[in-house]
A and B are shown apart, each in its own frame.
Chain A
């Protein structure tokens, strides 16, 4: 295992009526992509903001290359917030250049613009960009100091599927440069595509942590069968199977696919629209954090 570039130890963040982070510890290996997943209000953003040094913890510590956060971390960290406003009336290039001026070392502005496919937008007012273009500009700003560690806080929220995939490709090209990435996201597909390791956070605590495939193997020995709800007769609901009813479908979890299929056929359940798939991160996420709507 690689040496951790960032370590979080027993992090606690308390507010008067809420404990947002409650004893979180994990280590981020250098050169990988670490995903922090969790439902809204789980404590992801609070954890990340403490790691970024912009929020003080109630207790616990964050170490960067074995030392408390300090000037070196600020020089070597790149950050993309979920929402970032910039100064008005500046072009894309001027916005990137302003941030470049805040760091001692970094990349050439043209190189960053090229890396993020922003050459043609360099002279456009930063307020006149589409969602995907804006995220690319913010990524360029996060990369302008050639960071060793890159924080991406829900970077593709609100983007259309094309823009999201385009952004993923950019992040993968950054990963290929052996930069450490810490990603928080709601999108399980995003975590599966980008992350080498994930931690699922709920109610301020880590509920599981590890590489996605290993976690799936550990939590699911089964496959999932999905049937449209209207194809699943009422009588079949009494069958001895592990069922989860969603609004539009019924999910059956089983480690005996042949036996389950035979049971369904004998119960005269129509299988024309049956879908069989392996469990994914979303299943794991829902299993660990529950399906109820969070207030």
Chain B
């Protein structure tokens, strides 16, 4: 028995070791995940509080209709110190507080929305005297208010109310988007690969079917399946967790369609040419893991280095998720998520063209 077992063990090891694609991904993938996570989540301790700081010239301005994406203010370099907008720390001692992250806020309207949703613990308009907006429903708002008043007793308070976005509500769009990503990438990537390996594509090639028609059928099939499943999950799981949508369902449908198309296009591009199951598996993992970690499915990357956020912004799942959360949690309209829709459309067109161009019927 041992001899037979060893014979099969030896042959399987040879098979695996000689498949360089599989070997590469088996070694590189976990290594890159660990290094990536260390870079993203390493470094100084996370701040305990987040305070939005209005720019002086914007403090009294009317809220902007479509604010630019917010970025954390540059770190002071002291891991224990709070970070504050340049030029403001000296004038306002509160901006020296430790374990507080000070975030530039472009407009009061945007900042107030974040305070109401408890995405930040306080909105501060530096001045003489400074004004601040704090959510009376937020325990962290209560504590940070005490810190501010200790440093700036003349600060004028404006009370705001609003329930925090529950983690499950914040997570829900992420789970839907992640499921959509896996369904599209693996559903298309693996199927086309299997068709090629089994010779089914070769048989189809001997018919009047064109590559465009075949790929179009794959896209439409996976699109309809994914959109249906996402809609069913949205309704079913949404009811189960008591999720209340703030935005347009039609806009969400459009997002589901464009998000699916972009992922299907990526899956087709990966499977368009290759015949090795392990290589395609590695490539799909190489694509899905970063998206799962960097696109904000499980947690926000607001505190991660700027270059990480820039990479994350290039991922279609980030664009899909950003827009989905904006619609589902904050009721964003078409205009506000238009940049995300345009990006997803571009990804779809570029990768569909690439997939069609590189498509091969046979091994």
Contacts and interface: CB of A to CB of B under 8 A. Distances in A.
B205 interface: yes
Contact of B207 (A83, A85, A103): A103
Contact of B205 (A54, A71, A103): A54
A86 B207 contact: no
A113 B361 CA distance: 28
Given A85-B203, A103-B208, 9 more contacts: A81-B202, A81-B206, A84-B200, A84-B203, A85-B199, A85-B200, A87-B195, A103-B207, A104-B208
19 contacts: A54-B362, A74-B206, A74-B207, A74-B208, A79-B203, A79-B206, A81-B202, A84-B199, A85-B195, A85-B198, A85-B199, A85-B200, A87-B200, A99-B207, A102-B204, A102-B207, A102-B209, A103-B207, A103-B208
B185 to A, nearest CB: 20
A83 B197 CA distance: 12
A75 B200 contact: no
Contacts of B207: 74, 99, 102-103
A33 B204 CA distance: 24
A53 B200 contact: no
A77 interface: yes
Contacts of A77: 206
A interface majority secondary structure: loop
Interface in B174-229: 195, 198-200, 202-209
A52 interface: yes
Contact of A102 (B195, B198, B199, B208): B208
Contacts of A104: 208
A99 B203 CA distance: 10
A74 to B, nearest CB: 4
A102 B195 CA distance: 17
Interface string B311-336: 00000000000000000000000000
B192 to A, nearest CB: 12
Contacts of A81: 199, 202-203, 206
Contacts of B206: 52-54, 74, 77, 79, 81
A83 B362 CA distance: 13
Nearest to A55: B362
A154 to B, nearest CB: 14
Contacts of A74: 206-208
A102 B204 CA distance: 9
Q: What are the 5 closest A-B residue pairs judged by CB atoms, nearest first?
A: A85-B198, A74-B208, A102-B207, A79-B206, A85-B200
Contacts of A75: 208
With most chain B CB atoms within 10 A of its CB, the pick from A79, A81, A85, A103 is A85
A104 B204 CA distance: 15
Contacts of A52: 206
A87 B194 CA distance: 10
Interface string A84-124: 11110000000000010011100000000000000000000
Contacts of A103: 207-208
Contacts of B200: 84-87
Interface in B142-199: 195, 198-199
Nearest to A104: B208
B277 to A, nearest CB: 15
B301 to A, nearest CB: 40
